[in-house]
Structure 1
């Protein structure tokens, strides 16, 4: 019996035993076609999307596997495949009835995704690295260049430092970029997560089991206190796995599906695809492949002394408090090492886009990109949260550690290249555990690292090879984006 058939047999048993578990009944051929779509190198006007426009117009990669290949097809991605987010950094009291119209117009000029059809704005939007429009490369470069140092910019930065209680500019966590018409922007990044075992996370853990962990953490002596928003995404912004996959198609590759529109091209804001790039059948095949990805495994060393050392590391991992958030077993999923809760990770993790609860993740046709990435629409009458008023700017979902040995770099933006660095970066609610780790002897610290190095990607996964026959295109090198000075996206194109 194949691995897939075993998984399906297990799913059939679970479906009959409890309403919690979603049915997952597909054949090997459906999964195989989904894998072909996952590794396919998409092109503009692609033959596999006769009712759409194929790749783009905005995209971060030409295939799903380009960003999800570490440890095998479906793994995590390198830092150069991070998704970039462009966000406004609000000033207190910025908006009122007199200024809101001008404010919204300036946001729309910067990028049409900032303002929706109902006149609501988003604090952050996805800023794609590539475009099928040649002029986009220069524009993206200008928008993403670090902020020039001037008297005015130093004044603004000093104000930001004072509001955050920071004395040195080098400690300001925000990556400030352009300042346009009295509006300051910043960049945020998201590292591609691994997709192994996501079907188990979606179907074998109940909300009640996650919320029970949150209630237990309220009794923590280490200041750990998580809140539940969703199982998927660095901000826990989505609860529905199928929608998470469909959103990635539209957001990362520019493949419009029924439930999710592709992003608007800021240089062609009036362009709107009427059909879809993926049919319902293709979308279902792609989802089936992702759901078929096996769970990561713990691979213990054969040497008895090394095994003993790893076991000591596992005990120390629990003893210093890491297991409060990286819970080993949740629901019926063993060895996942996550609580799927949001936690305040400290001031060095401050992000320009706050994490909030996304209340609705049901499938609705034409869902927009900012919602997929967790940025919620705001009306000008609502309070603009500041750093002093809440910690949502520093909250992140605890990532599952299964497969962590094969998923570097680490943390939400890939800032940590090693497991040791990832531990040492932890702050906020994890500060007690980080301090405990620092007080361990070198041998004890290495024991924990050795333990984490046994949490491997699935051993049966394959390399990202063999794209669909007849399509051997690679990443369009002449459209690759870099990064440079200020100006809005439309204005830069007009000047050119």
Structure 2
């Protein structure tokens, strides 16, 4: 299975709802749903890219917000709990309306994207080449191209069909994304493959799960600390914490000369957050 130049493994189907998902790669954190015994099942819900959260749990910023507003802010969205109920017993119901979450989604996804310093210095240009040469760009793919320039917003959301229930569409070309050199899509300088990778036992969480979504490096120069639990205070530390599937990239970086390492870090330092992401929004 290939999408936007990224390989997600393979499946074998013998008919509708009868597919073997043993060789799917990078699409789910639940190891049981990877179909380890090769049984045949409907894989519709598995074949969805979920780029939001460190564990690849959410398909859209709205889905992320439904969970995050509960966990971080103690707000219970009505689309999750219903109207005029008070599950947490705080004496307040209807804590976050559907329209409020819709407005939040439009705000977040309408922001200006991060940018790459232009022109790059000679050192950063050399670091960009090294970034690819040692394998960093294998997962942190510099650019992806969308099929079209329009981003749909829907409610209720259907993970396996984002074109259902659309209530608003944003033209990404008007929000800082350049048109790609071919077709009608836009270029997204994301520096990610949006896949889930096993990063080794050294980065595992308390439950033993060491599988994480490839971090998006756009804007990385302004987003310290790094890694899923902020254990890395510098980009150098973040690279050296890589292990598991990406142990080779860490080893390749460690084997570089001091000047080559410095150039690579200067390149990462050129991946900036926008100075005024809300201007004109």
Give deviations 1:243-290, integer Å, cap 9, x for gaps: 11232222211121112359xxxxxx9726672112222222222111
- Give the Cα–Cα distance (whole angstroms) in 2 for the partners of residues 211 and 451 of structure 1: 24
- Give the Cα–Cα distance (whole angstroms) in 1 for the partners of residues 110 and 139 of structure 2: 27
**CA apart distance, 1:296:** 0.5
- Give the Cα–Cα distance (whole angstroms) in 2 for the partners of residues 288 and 343 of structure 1: 30
- Give the Cα–Cα distance (whole angstroms) in 1 for the partners of residues 74 and 81 of structure 2: 8
- Determine whether 1:237 maps to 2:57: yes
SS in 2 for 1:260: helix
Give deviations 1:217-266, integer Å, cap 9, x for gaps: xxxxxxxx95123111100011132111232222211121112359xxxx
- Determine whether 1:427 maps to 2:221: no
Number of equivalent positions: 201
- Give the Cα–Cα distance (whole angstroms) in 2 for the partners of residues 235 and 458 of structure 1: 26
TM-aligned CA distance change 1:450 to 1:255, over 3 Å = same
Q: Which residue of the partner structure matches residue 409 of structure 1?
A: 225
Q: Which residue of the partner structure matches residue 207 of structure 2?
A: 353
Correspondence 1:2-81 to 2 at 5 A: none
TM-aligned CA distance change 1:450 to 1:275, over 3 Å = same
Structure 1 unmatched ranges of 5 or more: 1-206, 217-224, 263-268, 355-392, 464-496
- Give the Cα–Cα distance (whole angstroms) in 2 for the partners of residues 237 and 211 of structure 1: 22
Correspondence 1:246-395 to 2 at 5 A: 246-261=66-81, 271=89, 275-300=93-118, 307-332=121-146, 333-353=187-207, 393-395=209-211
TM-score, structure 1 as length reference: 0.38
1:227 to 26, 30, 44: 26
- Give the Cα–Cα distance (whole angstroms) in 1 for the partners of residues 73 and 107 of structure 2: 17
**CA apart distance, 1:211:** 8.4
CA contact 1:246–1:260 (8 Å) conserved in 2 = yes
CA contact 1:250–1:260 (8 Å) conserved in 2 = no
- Give the Cα–Cα distance (whole angstroms) in 2 for the partners of residues 396 and 211 of structure 1: 20
CA contact 2:2–2:8 (8 Å) conserved in 1 = no
SS in 2 for 1:259: helix
Greater strand proportion: 2
- Give the Cα–Cα distance (whole angstroms) in 1 for the partners of residues 228 and 140 of structure 2: 15
SS in 2 for 1:396: strand
TM-aligned CA distance change 1:295 to 1:443, over 3 Å = same
**CA apart distance, 1:208:** 5.5
SS in 2 for 1:448: helix
SS in 1 for 2:197: strand
Give deviations 1:394-417, integer Å, cap 9, x for gaps: 111001100000000000000000
Range moving further from structure 2, 402-411 or 285-294: 285-294
CA contact 1:258–1:280 (8 Å) conserved in 2 = yes
CA contact 1:235–1:342 (8 Å) conserved in 2 = yes
- The higher relative CO (CA closer than 8 Å, separation ≥ 6) is in 1
- Give the Cα–Cα distance (whole angstroms) in 2 for the partners of residues 258 and 285 of structure 1: 15
**CA apart distance, 1:351:** 1.1
TM-aligned CA distance change 1:210 to 1:275, over 3 Å = farther
RMSD over aligned CA atoms reads 2.7
